[in-house]
C-alpha cells in the first residue's frame, strides 16, 4: 500500500506565512500581483474539493499535482512559494527570492511573462518549519535590496516589524467600526477587494461604496486613498490578517485603550454589548 505523508498547506510570500492555500474551481490558481500571466498554462495543483483543509495528502501525476484533504498530524509542509520582483509604483520595495536546496522537493511552477514586475510561484514539499524559517529572514523594508533567501535550519530570526502592520490594524478597526462593529462583514468586504482582479482605483471606489463614511474617516481614508497598488495590497493584507486573528480567537479586535473605547462604542451602538 502506498505511504502517504500528511502535509500542512501554507502560502509563503515575503515575510508572511499563511496557513491556507487558495482554491478556485478546484485548482490552485496562479494570480500574481505583479506582471501578467496571459501566456501561462502551468497547473500548480488540482483538488476535488472546493476548499482545502489545512492538512493534505499530495500525489504527483504526469498531468500535475493533486491534493486531497485529510485530518492527520502533519509530517511535512506543502508550501506555495510566491517569489516576486516589485513593479511600477513599488520599485523601492525589495523583491523576494528563495534558493531551493536539497531539503525541498519542487512539485510545480508558474511564472509571469511580462508587464511590470514579475512573479514565480512554486509548489514545494518541505520539512516542517521551512516556510517560517525563510519568512523570518526576509526584510520587507523600503530601500532595502531584493533578497534571495536560503533555508537555514539553525536560525529562526525574530521577525522585523512589518511597516504596514500597525496601519493595517488601525484600518481593520476603523472599517469594523464603520460597519457597525461586524468584524465578519469587514473581513468579507476587505477580502473581496484584496482578491479582486481589477485595478487600484476601481478597488478603492468599490471600498468607498461598500464602507459608508470611509471617505471622511481619518483612518479609513488611508485605505481608500492609498497612492500605489502595492500600498493598497499591503494595507489590505495586514488588515485581513488582523481581522482573521480576531475572528478566529473570538476576541475583541482591539488591544489598546483608545481603540477599545472606539470599538466598545461601536458595539454598544450596534446593540452587541
Partner 1 sequence: MRLYKIEYPGATPKLMKLDTDKGPIKSVELGESGRGRVHKIIPIIGEGPEVRAKRTDNGIVLIRGNWEDTDRALVIINTVGDYDRFRNYGLFSAEGVEEVESGFFAFGEAGRLPGGPEMLAVVKPGAVFKLNSKYTHTWYMFTKEGWVLETPVERRARLALLEVEQGGGEWL
Residues 172 and 243: beta-carbon distance below 8 Å: yes
Nearest-angstrom CA–CA distance, 193 and 199 = 10
Q: Residue from 20, 54, 105, 208 that binds partner 1 (CB under 8 A)?
A: 105
Nearest-angstrom CA–CA distance, 68 and 6 = 10
The yes or no reply on residue 8 touching partner 1 (CB under 8 A) is no
Nearest-angstrom CA–CA distance, 199 and 7 = 35
Q: Residue from 65, 80, 178, 223 that binds partner 1 (CB under 8 A)?
A: 65
The yes or no reply on residue 51 touching partner 1 (CB under 8 A) is no
Neighbouring CB atoms inside 10 A of 113's CB total: 11
The yes or no reply on residue 71 touching partner 1 (CB under 8 A) is no
The yes or no reply on residue 26 touching partner 1 (CB under 8 A) is yes
Nearest approach, Cβ of residue 72 and partner 1 (Å)? 13
Specify the 3-state DSSP secondary structure of 198.
coil
Nearest approach, Cβ of residue 54 and partner 1 (Å)? 17
Residues 16 and 137: beta-carbon distance below 8 Å: no
Q: Which is nearer to partner 1, 27 or 264 (CB)?
A: 27
Beta bridge partners of 69: 56
Q: Residue from 82, 125, 230, 238 that binds partner 1 (CB under 8 A)?
A: 125
Nearest-angstrom CA–CA distance, 99 and 101 = 6
The yes or no reply on residue 197 touching partner 1 (CB under 8 A) is no
Nearest CA among 162, 235, 254 for reference residue 193: 235
Nearest approach, Cβ of residue 231 and partner 1 (Å)? 30
The yes or no reply on residue 66 touching partner 1 (CB under 8 A) is yes
The yes or no reply on residue 142 touching partner 1 (CB under 8 A) is no
Which residues here bind partner 1, judged by CB under 8 A?
2-5, 7, 25-27, 38-43, 46-48, 57-66, 68, 76, 105, 125
Amino acid at each position: 500500500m502506498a505511504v502517504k505523508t500528511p502535509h500542512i498547506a501554507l502560502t509563503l510570500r515575503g515575510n508572511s506565512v499563511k496557513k491556507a492555500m487558495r482554491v478556485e474551481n478546484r485548482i490552485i490558481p496562479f494570480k500574481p500581483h505583479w506582471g501578467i500571466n496571459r501566456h501561462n498554462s502551468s497547473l500548480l495543483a488540482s483538488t476535488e474539493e472546493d476548499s482545502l483543509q489545512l492538512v493534505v495528502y499530495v500525489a504527483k501525476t504526469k498531468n500535475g499535482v493533486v491534493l486531497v484533504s485529510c485530518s492527520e498530524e502533519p509530517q511535512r509542509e506543502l508550501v506555495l512559494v510566491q517569489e516576486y520582483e516589485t513593479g511600477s509604483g513599488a520599485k523601492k520595495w525589495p523583491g523576494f527570492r528563495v534558493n531551493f536546496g536539497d531539503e525541498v522537493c519542487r512539485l510545480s511552477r508558474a511564472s509571469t511573462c511580462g508587464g511590470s514586475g514579475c512573479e514565480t510561484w512554486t509548489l514545494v514539499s518541505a520539512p516542517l518549519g521551512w516556510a517560517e524559517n525563510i519568512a523570518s529572514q526576509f526584510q520587507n523594508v523600503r530601500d532595502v535590496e531584493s533578497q534571495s533567501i536560503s533555508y537555514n535550519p539553525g536560525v529562526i530570526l525574530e521577525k522585523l516589524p512589518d511597516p504596514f502592520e500597525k496601519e493595517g490594524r488601525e484600518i481593520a478597526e476603523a472599517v469594523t467600526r464603520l460597519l457597525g462593529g461586524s468584524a465578519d462583514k469587514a473581513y468579507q468586504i476587505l477580502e473581496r477587494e484584496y482578491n479582486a482582479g481589477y485595478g487600484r482605483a476601481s478597488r478603492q471606489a468599490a471600498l468607498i461604496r461598500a464602507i459608508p463614511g470611509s471617505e471622511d474617516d481619518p483612518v479609513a481614508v488611508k485605505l481608500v486613498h492609498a497612492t500605489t497598488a502595492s500600498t493598497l495590497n499591503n494595507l489590505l493584507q495586514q488588515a485581513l490578517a488582523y481581522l482573521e486573528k480576531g475572528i478566529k480567537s473570538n476576541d475583541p479586535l482591539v488591544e489598546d485603550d483608545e481603540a477599545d473605547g472606539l470599538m466598545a462604542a461601536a458595539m454598544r451602538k450596534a446593540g452587541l454589548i
